[in-house]
Amino acid sequence: MHPVPVLGAFFTMLAIGMPIFLVLGALSLFLFWHEGDPLIAFSQLFIDHLNSQTLIAIPFFVMAATFMNRGGIAKALVDCAYSWVGGLRGGLALVCVVATTIFAAISGSSVATAMAMGTLLVPAMLEKNYEKHFALGVVGASGTLGILIPPSLAMIVYAIIAEESVPRLFMAGVIPGLLQAGLFAAFIMWYTKRKNYPKGEAVSSAEFIRVNIRAIPALTLPVIILGGIYSGIVTVSEAAGVASLVAIIISLTIYKGCTVREVLPIIAESMKLTAAIIFIILGALAFGHWITDSGMADQLIHFVVENELSAWQFLLLINILMLFLGMFLEVIAVILITVPLVLPLLEPLGISPIHFAVVITVNMELALLTPPVGLNLYVLSSISRAPVDQVTKGVWPFIVIMLFLLGLITYVPEISMFLPELVYGK
Amino acid sequence: MTRFERIWNRVEDAIMGIFAGVALLLICSEVVLRYFSDFMRDNFDLRLPDWGAEVTIYLTVWAMLIAGSQLVLTGRHIRADLVVRQLPPNVQWALELINLTMGLGYCALVAWFGWKVVEFAQMLDERSESSLQFELWIFYLILPISFGLMAVRYFIRLYRFLFRFERSMLFIEHEGTTEDIIERSQS
């Protein structure tokens, strides 16, 4: 079937408020039938992709994030960050950036990160008379760090499709992630000074020591995950599992944010959060299967060769395409749909798949903030009961910063490639 | 929500919690036992089973897919409703009807063909490659179960939408003041 009516149907179904898993799945099922493929192959495709060792890292990372949120670990991280930067002008907004950066080094999910930080920090910021849209914008935008700073669910999915090394991909996200956090902090300091926000209350030395000691168990989690993966002791999935177990243990014994009776319900809740992603992944995989079979990848290669596109022109086009798709689709779905299309072009154009993964991930961070399907907007809207437009108003300045970052990362590959090449060689 | 539905939710929650919990213990025990494998082999002639990772996948996939049914019930499957919320209620009603019908049809079809996958695996006697030689149709069974449960939930929602309609079943805009948010966080 010609791509134009398919894309027409696709966007119409999204526009009428159909769940994304249903749009991708129902359309793919129709395309399977239309192309004359046996429909049993459609269901078989689902179960074959689910039977994956790498994919099961996703539920375990979500589980770790859920326990961090519910078990008091996120609160300990926020208190720790407050003791360092809370006394500055716009201190709570800076706390959000710092705490989110640390949380992102454990959770792997931007939505989970925004949810945890939003629950704790949005009410606190409003209480201190921060503008509502600014408070929502800071949390929504900082939450996107969840998929750039390792571990990252988006990078795991990319690794499965592109058959790349997950640890190498994770490492490529470190410098861009810290750069993004730095840019956000700089903007917050400028904005809060311009708006004359009051300085936060500095903590006493005794309190400083107390909250930092209390945060030590929480701070061991990124060490366990990243240390375990890079020392080769555990695989990515095992690291996610171990992080979940440690998060449960310290939630129960140290932070006492949940009880033993609550463990199974919280695990069940984390499975529901994961399921919302997994059903989209299944639909997107089936849709990606149609895209591959439809010869669109060949047409794209033909287009690039015929127009003699250079690497920078190609990257510019891809960025525009993904920003557009990211407005309408969930992050993982965009990756699963576009990566199989463009992967064959990377080597001829001299683009490293690792660098490309970071470009995609920053694009997907933007996708989390751009309406109508910006998941972080909905998370913040749901936490604060503010209309989505108010959250959107708050994230706009951060979107501009991220577009600048995207340009920088796209055209200066060394920012992403420095660490992986330093550790693993070229 | 009826009493039957509450029990149904609790059964699903229990399956999710237990399956994912056991998978968690299994994946962590593999990490620990791997470092004692030489000691166990030399002293007790015990070897690390080769099926740990495989069973972890089965349990995790079952736990994840079972959750789909409650996502349908509570409308938590991710969707873009920003445009639809601006439309008049009667248009919203018509669009939601299309969405629910489509959801029911899609889930029922995937469940049906998922059942065919199970039958096919049984016929071919498909088994896993580990020493467990696990019969794969049991793992595949989650596909018709999960999508079947989602289809039933869609049917229930559709029935209520048509015969017990309430305005809250349409797309709702969140509303809340700054004071609400602070109060909610403190309560």
Which residues of chain A neighbour B60 with C-beta distances below 8 Å?
Answer: 56, 59-60
Bridge partners (DSSP) of residue A83 are none
Picking from A258, A267, A287, A334 by the largest number of B CB atoms within 10 A of its own CB, the best residue to mutate is A267
Which residues of chain B neighbour A62 with C-beta distances below 8 Å?
Answer: none
Residues whose CB is less than 8 angstroms from the CB of residue A138 and which lie 6 or more positions away in sequence, other chains included: A93, A96, A97, A121, A125, A184, A188, A394, A398
A373 to B80: CB separation less than 8 angstroms, yes or no? yes
Q: Give the Cα separation of A380 and A203 in Å (integer).
A: 28
A19 to B140: CB separation less than 8 angstroms, yes or no? no
A14 to B80: CB separation less than 8 angstroms, yes or no? yes
* Phi-psi category of residue A308: left, alpha or beta, with phi > 0 → left and psi -120 to 50 → alpha: left
How is chain B split among helix, strand and coil, in percent rounded to 5?
75, 0, 25
Residues within 8 A of B (CB atoms), A 140-169 only = none
Which residue of A lies nearest to B15 if distances are taken between CA atoms?
A268
**E strand spans, chain B:** none
Q: Which of A125-129, A385-389, A415-419 has the lowest mean pLDDT?
A: A385-389
Q: Looking at residue A379, what is its pLDDT?
A: 82
Bridge partners (DSSP) of residue B127 are B135
Q: Give the Cα separation of A307 and A299 in Å (integer).
A: 12
Residue A172 has pLDDT above 70, yes or no: yes
Residues within 8 A of B (CB atoms), A 288-347 only = 328, 330
What is the CA angle A260-A150-A136, rounded to 5? 75
User: With bands split at pLDDT 50, 70 and 90, how would you rate the model's confidence at B109?
Assistant: very high
Q: Judge contact between A139 and A94, C-beta under 8 A.
A: no
B181 to A245: CB separation less than 8 angstroms, yes or no? no
Q: For chain B, what's the residue count?
A: 187
Q: Judge contact between B122 and B186, C-beta under 8 A.
A: no
> For residues A22, A42, A361 and A220, what is the CA-based torsion angle, rounded to 10 degrees?
100
Q: Looking at residue B42, what is its pLDDT?
A: 76
Q: What is the mean pLDDT of chain A?
A: 92
Chain B contact present for A245, CB below 8 A:
yes
Of the candidates B113, B20, B173, the one whose C-alpha atom is nearest the C-alpha of residue A245 is: B20
Q: Looking at residue A89, what is its pLDDT?
A: 94
Question: Coil, helix or strand for B135?
Answer: strand
Q: Looking at residue A382, what is its pLDDT?
A: 75
ipTM, two decimals: 0.90
Phi, psi of A85 (to 5 degrees): -120, 0
Of the candidates A220, A206, A187, the one whose C-alpha atom is nearest the C-alpha of residue A96 is: A187
Which residue of B lies nearest to A132 if distances are taken between CA atoms?
B178
Picking from B9, B35, B79, B134 by the largest number of A CB atoms within 10 A of its own CB, the best residue to mutate is B79
Picking from A39, A109, A264, A271 by the largest number of B CB atoms within 10 A of its own CB, the best residue to mutate is A271
Of the candidates A317, A320, A292, the one whose C-alpha atom is nearest the C-alpha of residue A304 is: A317
Which residues of chain A neighbour B185 with C-beta distances below 8 Å?
Answer: 119, 122-124
Q: Kindly report, residue by residue over A336-349, the tens digit of the pLDDT.
A: 888 988 998 999 99
Nearest to B143 among A46, A52, A234 (CB): A46
B78 to A19: CB separation less than 8 angstroms, yes or no? yes
A385 to B103: CB separation less than 8 angstroms, yes or no? no
Q: Between A and B, how many CB-CB pairs are < 8 A?
A: 212
Residue B123 has pLDDT above 90, yes or no: yes
Chain B contact present for A132, CB below 8 A:
yes
DSSP state of B127: B
In this structure, how many other beta carbons lie within 10 angstroms of the beta carbon of residue B82? 21
Highest mean pLDDT among A106-110, A339-343, B159-163: B159-163
Q: Would you list the DSSP string of B90-124? A: HHHHHHHHHHHHHHHHHHHHHHHHHHHHHHHHHHH
Which residues of chain A neighbour B182 with C-beta distances below 8 Å?
Answer: 123, 126-127
Pairs from A311-320 (Cβ < 8 Å, separation ≥ 24): A311/A349, A311/A350, A311/A351, A312/A411, A314/A345, A314/A349, A314/A351, A315/A351, A315/A359, A315/A410, A315/A411, A316/A410, A318/A342, A318/A359, A319/A359, A319/A363, A319/A406, A319/A410
Q: Looking at residue A271, what is its pLDDT?
A: 95
Q: Kindly report, residue by residue over A233-249, the tens digit of the pLDDT.
A: 899 999 999 999 999 99
Bridge partners (DSSP) of residue A199 are A89
Chain B contact present for A382, CB below 8 A:
yes
Q: Looking at residue A298, what is its pLDDT?
A: 80
Residue B103 has pLDDT above 60, yes or no: yes
Residue A62 has pLDDT above 70, yes or no: yes
How is chain A split among helix, strand and coil, in percent rounded to 5?
80, 0, 20
Q: Which of A379-388, B64-73, B132-141 has the lowest mean pLDDT?
A: A379-388
Q: Give the Cα separation of A154 and A107 in Å (integer).
A: 12
pTM as predicted: 0.89
Higher pLDDT, B73 or B178: B73
Q: Give the Cα separation of A298 and A344 in Å (integer).
A: 9
Q: Kindly report, residue by residue over B32-87, the tens digit of the pLDDT.
A: 888 777 777 777 777 778 899 999 999 999 999 999 999 999 888 877 777 787 88
In this structure, how many other beta carbons lie within 10 angstroms of the beta carbon of residue A131? 16
Q: Looking at residue B182, what is its pLDDT?
A: 58
Q: Give the Cα separation of B96 and A145 in Å (integer).
A: 34
Of the candidates A340, A354, A370, the one whose C-alpha atom is nearest the C-alpha of residue A409 is: A354
Which residue of B lies nearest to A234 if distances are taken between CA atoms?
B31
Residue B174 has pLDDT above 70, yes or no: no
Q: Kindly report, residue by residue over A306-318, the tens digit of the pLDDT.
A: 888 999 999 999 9
Residues within 8 A of B (CB atoms), A 164-203 only = none
User: With bands split at pLDDT 50, 70 and 90, how would you rate the model's confidence at B187?
Assistant: very low
Which residue of A lies nearest to B138 if distances are taken between CA atoms?
A47
Highest mean pLDDT among A206-215, A325-334, A340-349, A364-373: A206-215
Q: Looking at residue B173, what is its pLDDT?
A: 47
A385 to B175: CB separation less than 8 angstroms, yes or no? yes
Average pLDDT of the residues in A176-191:
97
Of the candidates A413, A210, A289, the one whose C-alpha atom is nearest the C-alpha of residue A27 is: A289
Q: Would you list the DSSP string of A104-160? A: HHHH--HHHHHHHHHHHHHHHHHHTT--HHHHHHHHHHHHGGGGTSSS-HHHHHHHH
Q: Which of A101-110, A206-215, A381-390 has the lowest mean pLDDT?
A: A381-390
Highest mean pLDDT among A134-148, A368-382, A383-397: A134-148
Picking from B15, B22, B82, B87 by the largest number of A CB atoms within 10 A of its own CB, the best residue to mutate is B82
Residue B179 has pLDDT above 80, yes or no: no
Which residue of B lies nearest to A25 if distances are taken between CA atoms?
B106
Q: Looking at residue B185, what is its pLDDT?
A: 54
Radius of gyration of chain A (CA): 21
Residue A291 has pLDDT above 60, yes or no: yes
**pLDDT > 70: what percent of chain A?**
100
Average pLDDT of the residues in A365-375:
88
User: With bands split at pLDDT 50, 70 and 90, how would you rate the model's confidence at A388?
Assistant: confident
Q: Kindly report, residue by residue over A6-59, the tens digit of the pLDDT.
A: 889 998 998 898 998 999 999 999 999 998 989 999 999 999 999 988 889 999
Q: Judge contact between A228 and A242, C-beta under 8 A.
A: yes
Q: Give the Cα separation of A380 and A402 in Å (integer).
A: 19
Q: Is B110 exposed, middle or buried (0-12, 13-18, 19+ CB in 10 A)?
A: buried
Q: Kindly report, residue by residue over B14-23, the tens digit of the pLDDT.
A: 999 999 999 9
Q: Looking at residue A330, what is its pLDDT?
A: 80
Residue B142 has pLDDT above 90, yes or no: yes
Residue B175 has pLDDT above 50, yes or no: no
Which residue of B lies nearest to A38 if distances are taken between CA atoms?
B113
Average pLDDT of the residues in A203-228:
93
Highest mean pLDDT among A11-15, A295-299, B41-45, B109-113: B109-113
Residues whose CB is less than 8 angstroms from the CB of residue A267 and which lie 6 or more positions away in sequence, other chains included: A63, B16, B17, B20, B21, B24
Q: Looking at residue B180, what is its pLDDT?
A: 58
Nearest to B84 among A17, A22, A26 (CB): A17
Residues whose CB is less than 8 angstroms from the CB of residue B28 and which lie 6 or more positions away in sequence, other chains included: A238, A241, A242, A245
Burial A302-333 (b: 16+ CB within 10 A, else e): eebeeeebebeebbebbbeebbebbbbbbbbb
Q: How far apart are the first and last CA of chain A?
A: 42
A280 to B176: CB separation less than 8 angstroms, yes or no? no
Nearest to B182 among A44, A127, A378 (CB): A127
Nearest to B64 among A19, A263, A275 (CB): A275
